Structure 1
Amino acid sequence: MEYQTDVTVHSQVQITNQDNTTTKGRNYTVDAFRLLGAFCIVILHIPSFGDIPGNTITVINELCRWAVPFFFLVGGYYFEIGFRSKPEMTFLRRIKSLLSIFFTSNLVYLVFTLLRRTEPIAILLNTATFLIGTHDHLWFIGSMIFGYIFLWFMLEINAVKLLPYIAAAVLLIVLLTGGYAHFFLPDNVNFRFSRQLMSIPFLITGYLFSRYNLIDRLKLWQGIILVLLGVALQALEQNLIFKYSHNPAVSDLLFGSFLYAAGMFILALKVPMPKNNLITKLGQEYSLIIYLYHPIVISIYFNLVIPHAKNKGQIALILSPIIVFLITLGGVVILRKYFIGLYRLLTGLPWRKVRILSPASR
């Protein structure tokens, strides 16, 4: 999506898609999938679903695991479109946007954490903070920054032919240090390293899909098969992890998750949605800011609302993903309409006015 006027602020900043257009026009289906993906991420971060059985919660979480990889895939896909014609500007604009978002969101969560007094400031201000952020979910932005820098470097040294092998190798490393680590480190799995690398195989895959026009070579049914295969394989992998490690936690990424996300990515690009509508507009404008700030809404909801729900506590817990999502969405829409200055600040727009010099301009 192109940057427009200051009033038309884009929370998307389009880290996943600064253009989201091709010569054929905008892909509105991708925008709709973005909003669905944001909702899935909210579900993954809900701490309690009340009396819903654990197995059911595990299935729900597994069905939502496509979302984060999907954003990486879309980012790589549209990055190639911009890089094809304006490589330096495309790369610098992405990095500048991501850095501004990372700085602003980290500052917000630093203040939020200090106000809650959950962590001493000395613990928050360390090396890991500058890589993964002051809140757990901000690893996504740091990983994206690292992934774009890595992809840009590989393109600069003309190593395009190596990208498929690199993507496969990094994916294997991510699996072995992430989800599969439960097999040999059942009680002590730290996802920081795997998360930092996670964007690389997906950004590369999205990039290659665009570069070699793979979408036109694929059929819709192939995307559906990938989704079904990915969901089934992901469930099998998760069951094996639980069987051998007795760890009920759903892993960040499994190989089935890769197939599942790739299938959803193909569906988003193959299923036509010719007209812009409310869903696509919301996905286009607000999916990123929902991702960034929904944990604050979750914290407020579970600390202030749930304790006072009394007899309706179970209903409030079961419906918590929908309620949190709608509150977050409504809040950012109101912010953008009535408090544009604060909205701009939360989306990192002021920092993006800082000029980044390219090597050629120095």
Structure 2
Amino acid sequence: MRIRSIDTLKGLAIIAVVIIHTEPFIATASMKGDWYYLGQSLQQLSSFAVPFFFVAAGYFYSRGISKESILSRWLKYTSRLASLLLIWTIIDGIFWGPWLEQMIKAKSAAPLLWNLNALPSFAAKRPDLFFFRGTAVPLWFLVSLIAGISLLALCLKLSLRPPALLAIGFSAYALCLATSSYEATFLGFGLTLPLEQRGPLIAFSFLTVGHFFAAHNISTKHSAPFLATAVIMIFCESALLSHLSGLPFQERPYLFSSLPLAACAFLFATSHPNLGANSVLSALGSRSLGIYLIHTPVLGAVSLIRRAVVHPIWEIIFALLVISLSYGLVALLMRIPYIRKSVI
């Protein structure tokens, strides 16, 4: 049974993902001054999205374990993700970058064939990138989710309890931050590990939170104040790190506050199970995975018109355009047999 409030929060999260990648008030060089701070604030607020998706994934994955064995649940879940990863690695490889603009300039579909032919050489020259995120940066989510779920399944096979998993997850997360956002502080190790902010340990950390929620039926009437406090915390933490770096306020995707923010957002959803039922956000959330996967080639297609207008309102309209087109394409593809499985 679907939990509509989680769909609603997923709807907000997928809008946030598109905002992260369209970068309102940041991508356009002429947007400076107060627009810069508005853009950075939007990015920081949107940073809850992927952590929330991981928490939700950990929650629903763990709930399914009660109905089947750990091994069969893991095989079914990861094989599905692996097939999506393979399909979208090829699609994103073909429809790479500003592909529509390239086709218009070439007056043919030749650029798409060039992109396809370049896939093997890209994999050979940069196997680290190819096997970590395929042919598009957002695909790191699938790679890390597969690895994170595998780690979670291993821990469950070892009969580790939810509190122990939370402790391991937090330790893994602290290690990631010590080699990324906090690398230059007294908490850092003085080195930066590759893929420190997008990888299996990040995924595993948030998956353990979702597993904890699945094991404990938690709800509270104070979820809204908790969520508001977590939002304030992440802005304060980001501002502090920016100050320590001698920089103006700058968004950071993963901070210590990201864990409580994602947890409080999920707690807010579970405490209000009917929130947003039959709303636009709930509809977006129910198709969030498809929108997440398809928005990259959509963004590449409409990148040409991004530069056509320089206006603050256009910055928001452009992000909404990408979301709307992505949703429409997902709805269309879901009607086509065999293809629909690539977007759900």
User: Percent identity, aligned pairs only?
Assistant: 23
Matched, 1:177 2:179: yes
> Is the 1:167–1:201 Cα contact (8 Å) retained in structure 2?
yes
Shift of 1:90: 2.0
Distance 1:246 1:98, change over 3 A: farther
Residue type of the alignment partner of 2:5: T
SS at match of 1:219: coil
Q: Which residue of the other structure, out of 39, 42, 61, is the alignment partner of 1:60?
A: 42
Distance 1:182 1:102, change over 3 A: farther
- The alignment covers a number of residue pairs equal to 314
Distance in 1, matches of 2:275 and 2:212, equals 25
Shift of 1:99: 0.7
2:93 paired residue number: 110
> Is the 1:225–1:263 Cα contact (8 Å) retained in structure 2?
no
1:255 paired residue number: 256
Stretches of structure 1 lacking an aligned partner (at least 5 in a row)? 1-20, 350-362
Q: Residues 153-164 of structure 1 correspond to what in structure 2 (within 5 A)?
A: 153-160=154-161, 162-164=164-166
Stretches of structure 2 lacking an aligned partner (at least 5 in a row)? 98-110
Shift of 1:341: 4.4
SS at match of 1:301: helix
Distance in 1, matches of 2:170 and 2:307, equals 47
Distance 1:143 1:182, change over 3 A: farther
SS at match of 2:224: helix
1:327 paired residue number: 325
Q: Residues 25-174 of structure 1 correspond to what in structure 2 (within 5 A)?
A: 26-49=2-25, 50=28, 51=31, 53-87=35-69, 88-113=71-96, 115=111, 121=119, 122-125=121-124, 126-160=127-161, 162-174=164-176
> Is the 1:220–1:270 Cα contact (8 Å) retained in structure 2?
yes
Distance in 1, matches of 2:289 and 2:23, equals 21
SS at match of 2:47: coil
1:288 paired residue number: 289
C-alpha root-mean-square deviation of aligned residues, in Å? 2.9
Normalised to the residue count of structure 2, the TM-score between the two structures is 0.81
Matched, 1:206 2:210: yes
Residue type of the alignment partner of 1:178: S
1:240 paired residue number: 240
Residue type of the alignment partner of 1:326: S
1:352 paired residue number: none
Shift of 1:340: 4.0
SS at match of 2:176: helix
2:196 paired residue number: 193
> Is the 2:221–2:271 Cα contact (8 Å) retained in structure 1?
yes
Shift of 1:154: 0.8
1:230-267: CA deviations, max 9, x gaps?
21121122112222224564222111121111111001
Shift of 1:190: 6.7
